[in-house]
Amino acid sequence: MVCAALGLGLLSCQKPKGESPHAQARAVTVVTVGMRRIEGGLTASGLLVPREDTAVFPQVTGYRVAKVLADEGSLVKAGQPLAELDDTLLRAQLAQQIALAAQQHSLADRADAEAARVKGLDTEGLLSEEQIQARRFAAATARAQAKAQDAAVQDIKTREALMVVRAPSDGLVIERTIRLGDMSAAAMATPWFRIAKDGQIELEADVSEDTLDKLRPGDAADVTLADGDKVTGRIRLVSPRVDANTKLGKVRITLPVRADVRSGGYAEANFVSLSHAALAIPAAAVRYDAEGASVMAVGADGRLARVPVTTGQRGGGFVELLNGPPAGTRVVAKAGAMFTPGDLVQIAPDGAPPR
């Protein structure tokens, strides 16, 4: 009885008679090697920097900060006050200088009057020539001293106007280093404010020297920010210089003014202007192992063959084939599928999932 049961079990495991090997083949989804446009074949990364970074320093020294009127993130207009210095001492000096100037003008008026009284007496003999010249010299000296006092008044008024630190241009305040009570110093290394002119932030990307000649000002670039958001920019400047050590050049990409485009951040640019037609397949069809990159090509007999490939630029989900199967070759669409060379497969209908 046991033998009979074993015999029946063996019979049940046998393949049905008449079933062909092709009927047992796994269904696969394939893609065809062909000419496709590789969108944005080059990517480059870098830091977000202001297009024009304006450093703001105080123009007078020896005064304490009385008010801070702008902070990081503030949008400011040209001439807008950013900070005010304590001008109490300066206003006292101005009042004193104005009084001295008024006094000197009175002395100059008196000297002018005394010089006017001897006008025309040079040949009359009433006064000596020396006395006449002395009065004229005294009048000229007094008038010059009055002008000097006026200049001193103007100097203090100019310093009084500079007690308010103002924005040199429209822009975005990206850094503020001062606090209430800080003292303005003569040789300051750190600016009180840094302003991105017009709020314009750019991507300064590093590009290899062999690629610089392919880029032109005005070319479009898709820029991916650190949070994954994408913005569209345009190349403003291609550096004429390549770093001797890194062999990289700088490319400046103008970006739209947005709150999430922040100076100092990281971003990556995809240069869509470098799109070109090439023999390509979806990137998912390329498999990588210890022997390198390859694809699984489907032969006319339904058998798989491993074909080594050399890949080039990527973009839009496709990868360029510099070396590999010719155009029209059908390859397995998913490189991660568990296939080995020589496997028998059948092509799944469009829309049907592979087995």
Looking at per-residue confidence, does 27 or 83 come out higher? 83
Residue 35: the pLDDT is 92
Q: Are 321 and 313 in contact (CB under 8 A)?
A: no
Residue 121: the pLDDT is 57
The boundaries of the domain holding residue 180 are 54-85+171-195
**Same domain for 288 and 250:** no
CATH number for position 251: 2.40.30.170
* Whether residue 52 has pLDDT greater than 70: yes
Question: Of 22-31, 122-131, 248-257, which range is least confident?
Answer: 122-131
Measured CA to CA in angstroms, residue 155 lies from 66, 97, 158 at distances of 22, 10, 5
**Same domain for 249 and 291:** no
DSSP per-residue codes, 252-295: EEE----TT--TT-EEEEEEGGG-EEEEEEEGGG-EEETTEEEE
Rg of the chain, C-alpha, whole Å: 42
Region for 125 from its dihedrals, namely left if φ exceeds 0, alpha if ψ lies in -120 to 50, beta otherwise: left
Phi, psi of 264 (to 5 degrees): 95, -10
- Mean predicted lDDT score pLDDT of the chain: 84
Mean pLDDT comparison of 74-88, 134-148, 268-282, highest-scoring range: 74-88
CATH number for position 191: 2.40.50
Looking at per-residue confidence, does 338 or 222 come out higher? 222
**Same domain for 145 and 119:** yes
Question: What whole-number percentage of the chain has pLDDT above 90?
Answer: 46
**Same domain for 183 and 205:** no
DSSP per-residue codes, 151-174: HHHHHHHHHHHTTEEE-SSSEEEE
Of 32, 42, 15, 99, give the one whose Cα is nearest residue 312. 42
Could you give the 3-state DSSP secondary structure of residue 228? coil
Q: How far is residue 23's CA from residue 36's CA, in Å, rounded to a whole number? A: 34
Phi, psi of 238 (to 5 degrees): -110, 120
Tokens of 272: 């869509």
pLDDT digits (tens, 9 = 90+) for 213-271: 888 899 888 899 988 899 999 999 999 999 888 888 999 999 999 888 999 999 999 88
CATH number for position 314: 2.40.420.20
Going by pLDDT thresholds of 50, 70 and 90, the confidence category of residue 307 is: very high
Residue 1 counted as domain residue: no
Residue 7 counted as domain residue: no
* Whether residue 297 has pLDDT greater than 70: yes
Going by pLDDT thresholds of 50, 70 and 90, the confidence category of residue 19 is: low
Q: How many domains does the chain fold into?
A: 4
